Structure 1
Amino acid sequence: MNKLRKNSLKLMAVVIAISLWVACKKDNKNETREELVLTTDAKASWKGYLEMGYFNSGTIGLSGEDIFLEGDKIVGGKISIPVSSILITNELSTEEKAELLHHLQTTDFFNLAVYPFVVYKINTAEKITVDAQGNNYLIKGSMSLLGKEIALDIPAKINITNTAVTVKAKFSFDRTKWGMTFASQENLPADKKIKNNIEVELELSATRF
């Protein structure tokens, strides 16, 4: 009986030790996890093309709700993109810019009234062999547009230092996958048909405290 009791006490001690070790590991992990906020100058530029080659261009603001780091690794994050911050940058008259801006905010495109934000969620950023464009990371995540969330991985140039994180990326996405199908019909003439892919170039940074 004493032997059985001793064995039970030993087993209990082992279980407690393992539990404490796991808890300690979790605490250590949480202690090394940093939450960063984007600087206020973060933005993205965009281009949308007609099949004939003409394009409209502009910028849109980025507001990072959070970016998570563990050491020198990006392990999560969320970037909100307010549709109301869209600006037109190509050479158009003031009246033409206002008309285009209004159209982009209607149900034909971003539907500002119902979906005021486009949201990109970062799952992780993995180091890759530097490619021809100089990208050294692949950001893995998903984008929510018009109420639909779809995986979207982005190659990027990322620099992580003791004081800041900077990200530069140039990529495109097929707008029709998210349901933005205005002027995408195959039978449209080249001067009326908008290409499915939207080109995006972004630059952002976050300060480490």
Structure 2
Amino acid sequence: MKQLLLTLALLVSGLAAAQNFEGKIVYHNTYTSKTPGLSDGQLSDLMGDVQTWYLKGGDYRSELNGTQMVWQLYRHSDNKLYSKFAGSETLLWQAGTSNPDSVLSTTLRKGATEILGYQCDELTLVCRSGIQKYYFSSRLPVQPELYKGHRYANWYTYLSKAGAVPLKIIIETAQFSMQSVATGVHPFPLSATSFALPANAQTAKSPY
């Protein structure tokens, strides 16, 4: 179960002007379970339906309102993604270079939709795991090279093609489908301390 939750969290996280976007984006997330014994409602409760994503340079932090997944933190300096689960003091980390998935093909469709007043292009990734669709605006840029080591969840592949934060994500796999849509975009300066690990944090490599 934790492996499924971690995969989902990485996707939504990992699920925001002439330089990089800096600030906060709020998303509404919906899930459809394809896993026997796990209902849509149960999956939504575990993951939460509201995600708050903070971005500064090559670092990001994702906070979720679910009962199991609490937050995720990606630190560019050590190229690791840390995950905090409810009921555990130990942060599980995943190396950014690790990626069990791979992208088979990509398709770009210009002017696909409008989200929150932003005209968005659509980037479709056909992956071994399924289909991933991202909707993004060049008005919210991200420097892809800052995430060159972040191969996990195909994040660098997406950024290398889009160069911007996603405002909508649709994921289809054999285990679940997910849709994440931005409900608010809030540019503002963030302190580097927002992306620091908690004091005396215990960490362990994720077994998932």
TM-score (ref. length: structure 1): 0.34
Larger Rg belongs to: 1
Structure number with the higher strand fraction is 2
